[in-house]
Structure 1
Amino acid sequence: MAKPYAKSFYNSKAWKGCRASYIATIYDKMCERCHRELGYIVDHIKEITPENIHDPNITLNHRNLQYLCVECHNVKTFQKHNPLRDDVKFDENGDLVQR
């Protein structure tokens, strides 16, 4: 689930076009991290923040994107949080939620 400040960006024509054109560049459509599973999520390597959301060099730049499977995306996301916490989990959409 997109953060509130990013919802309009992820619903924009610019993002949808960028996402589609990036996926089109992936020959085998496999996860670019593990290469074992099909990709599922176009992920920003450098995360979108309220400060950079209007910077197309961050948000719409293919060099800042990667195509990840759900598991690799969740691992990347979870690494940003304390791995010893047991009060959080991922829901069916891959979003971090309280247990």
Structure 2
Amino acid sequence: MVQKPSGKEEEYFAREAYEKQRRIHEERHKALAEEEKKRLRELHFMRCPKCGMELVEIDYRTIKVDKCTECAGVWLDAGELEEVSTLEKAGFERLLSVFRK
């Protein structure tokens, strides 16, 4: 005679089955998210977030500033704003003069 599992055993097995399915779904979602992230990076790399045109990278001391070839927007990567803020006033004015027409 086969013994029927108790309520606690049923709960345990149901929880285990749920966790297994959740992990499978999470791994599948993570793989899709990585693929989408890669596709978007390739699509938007060095493109202006405002107008979508090409960005040109300009080196100024240790700062790499990205400037749009169309709308003249200026973009900084992570940490570069902090570097700009450490420039002396004369250095900051020289940096700005690079972008004035």
Larger radius of gyration, structure 1 or 2? Answer: 2
Q: Which has the higher helix share?
A: 2
What interval of TM-score do these two structures reach, taking the shorter chain for normalisation? under 0.3
